[in-house]
Amino acid sequence: MSLRSEVLVSTRHGGCVRRALQCRILIIVNELLLHLIDTLSLPLEERAARRALRNFAEDAGFEFFAYLNLKGQESFAVSNYPQQWQDRYVQMNYLRVDPVVTRAKHGPPIFMWSAEEARRLGRRDVTQFFKDADRFSIRSGLSVSVPVGFKDRMVFTLASDKPSACNDEDPDPVTAAIAVAFVHSRLASATRDATLYTDIQLSPREAECLRWFADGMSMPDIADTLGIGYRSVRSYLDEATRKLGAANSRQAATIATRLGLI
């Protein structure tokens, strides 16, 4: 059963009824979130989890859902956005200018957004971002942002082709955070629709040292194997760690393996 309803606004002229121009859909957010939690608590396969999220978005009056795992160089997205938009997003490196991502990092945990509101910022890059998004009917939405540790963040977004969206009540932050945690539990290991960092380039020697390190070889042994000095190995590993945004060489090796760089 759909939990969707439309707003009808009565006018004083002739007692007629017309649809609201801006907030056409009331989003019964809390009820939908609780239902989503119940659904995702089941042992679902990836396809079933995606279908549940697509149904959730449709019941809420949206066309698209997107889960972003913002984790430095390992950031990725899972969504039902058109593939052309996902490719464009990565190609243009829109993660750096996306106002929804920026607000998710620094703003409230739950917020509404729209292209019209963002354009008021007067930033050319943001205007171009939403101009491109508009081609794929992405114009407004609702986002929930949940911090993970000091830097990482999980962001779940619902997007609509309407100029704006509204809700009839404030979503409960705790319920929303639990729902996003369940989304994460189902999609963290899912097929990644878009890897959001693609500009990492390791030098051949950096990749070689990191690959041996990932295999459990010590730095002195790597130096002997490659016929270079210990300090050179240390330097290559440090540079690879910096490029990957890792805390140490071991984490760098893990990230590089996941990204297919070694």
- Identity (one letter) of the amino acid at 73? Q
3-state secondary structure 47-105: HHHHHHHHHHHHHCCCCEEEEEEECHHHCEEEECCCHHHHHHHHHCCHHHCCHHHHHHH
pLDDT at 20 over 50: no
Q: What is the pLDDT of residues 67-102, one digit of tens each?
A: 999 987 778 899 999 999 999 998 888 888 899 999
Residue predicted with more confidence, 257 or 218? 218
Segment among 12-21, 38-47, 140-149, 247-256 with least mean pLDDT: 12-21
Domain termination site, one of 195, 229, 248: 195
State whether 173 and 218 are in the same domain: no
Structural domain containing residue 219: 204-258
State whether 211 and 93 are in the same domain: no
pLDDT at 4 over 60: no
Structure tokens at 183: 């989304």
State whether 149 and 182 are in the same domain: yes
State whether 122 and 237 are in the same domain: no
Is there a contact between 175 and 34 (Cβ–Cβ < 8 Å)? yes
> Which candidate, 131, 63, 64, 67, places its Cα nearest to that of 104?
67
State whether 131 and 186 are in the same domain: yes
Domain termination site, one of 175, 195, 215: 195
pLDDT at 241 over 60: yes
The CA distance from 176 to 183, in Å, is 11
Q: What is the pLDDT of residues 119-136, one digit of tens each?
A: 888 888 899 999 999 999
* pTM of full prediction above 0.75: no
State whether 155 and 111 are in the same domain: yes
